[in-house]
Structure 1
Amino acid sequence: CSPPPAALLLLLSSGSRLSGVTGLTGHDPAVSRLICTPIPPGQCNTGKFEQQADDPSLYAGEDWGYLRTTAEDLRQTVLQQKDQIQSDQRTIHELTGKLSECEKGLHGRTRRGGPAGLWGGAIAQLQDRIEKLEGDMSWTGEDLEGELQKKLDLLDKERKALRLETHKQRQAIDQSIAKLHHRVSGLEEGTEPNAFPEGFRLSFPTRTNYMYAAVNQHIPKLHAFTICMWLRPADKGIGTPLSYAVPDQPNEVVLLQGLRTPVELLVNDKVVQLPLNISRGSWQHICVSWSQRGGTWQAFQGGRLRGEGHSLAAGHHIRPGGLLVLGQEQDTVGGGFDSTQALVGEMSQVGVWDRVLSANQVASLSRCSKITQGGVAVWTESQIQVHGGATKDPGEPCSKHSMSSQ
Structure 2
Amino acid sequence: AVRKKSIPPLFVETLRFGFSRCVAPVGLSNKVLVFPYETDFSFVALIPQKEMGLTAFTLCMRVATELPEDRQIILFAYRTADYDELNVWREKDGRVSFYMSGDGIIFHLPPLTTFRTSLCLTWESRTGLAAFWVEGKRSTYQVYKPGHTIRPKGTVLLGQDPDKHLGGLEAVQSFVGEMSDLNMWDSVLSRSMIQAWHYGHKVPKGNIFDWGTMEYELNGNVMVVDDD
Same fold (TM over 0.5): yes
What does 1:307-386 correspond to in 2, within 5 Å?
Answer: 307-310=140-143, 312-332=144-164, 336-380=168-212, 383-386=215-218
Question: Which residue does 2:34 correspond to in 1?
Answer: 203
Q: Following TM superposition, by how much is the alpha carbon of 1:336 offset from its aligned partner in structure 2, in angstroms? A: 3.8
Tell me, what secondary structure is at the counterpart of 1:340?
helix
In the alignment, residue 244 of structure 1 is paired with which amino acid?
A: Y
Report whether the alignment pairs 1:259 with 2:92. Answer: yes
Q: Give the conservation status (yes or no) of the 8 Å contact 1:247–1:332.
A: no
Give unpaired runs (5+ residues) of structure 1.
Answer: 1-183, 185-191, 397-406
Q: Does 1:246 align with 2:80?
A: yes
Q: TM-score, normalised by structure 1?
A: 0.47
Structure of higher RCO (CA pairs closer than 8 Å, 6+ residues apart):
2
Larger Rg: 1
Letter of the 1:341 counterpart: Q
Per-residue CA distance 1:314-354 (angstroms, 9 max, x = gap): 21101001111111112058864211111110000111110
1:270 Cα deviation (Å)? 2.5
Residues of 2 paired with 1:376 and 1:335: CA distance? 28
Q: CA deviation at 1:360?
A: 1.1
Residues 56, 186 of structure 2: 8 Å contact kept: yes
Q: How far apart are residue 193 of structure 1 and its match?
A: 9.0
Give the residue type in structure 1 aligned to 2:57: F
Contact 2:117 2:135 in 1 (8 A): yes
Percent identity of equivalent pairs: 24
Aligned match of 2:106: 273
1:291 to 124, 131, 137: 124
Closer, same or farther: CA 229–341 of 1 in aligned 2, 3 Å: same
Deviations 1:41-82 (A, max 9, x none): xxxxxxxxxxxxxxxxxxxxxxxxxxxxxxxxxxxxxxxxxx
Aligned residues: 203
After superposition, residues 136-285 of structure 1 pair within 5 angstroms as: 199-217=30-48, 218-237=50-69, 239-249=73-83, 251-285=84-118
TM-score, with normalisation over the residues of structure 2? 0.81
CA distance in 2, matches of 1:265, 1:209: 21
AA at the equivalent of 1:200: K
Instruction: Please state which structure has a larger fraction of its residues in strand.
Output: 2
CA distance in 2, matches of 1:378, 1:223: 19
Aligned-pair Cα RMSD in Å: 2.4
Displacement of 1:261 in angstroms is: 4.4
Offset of 1:195 from its aligned partner? 9.9
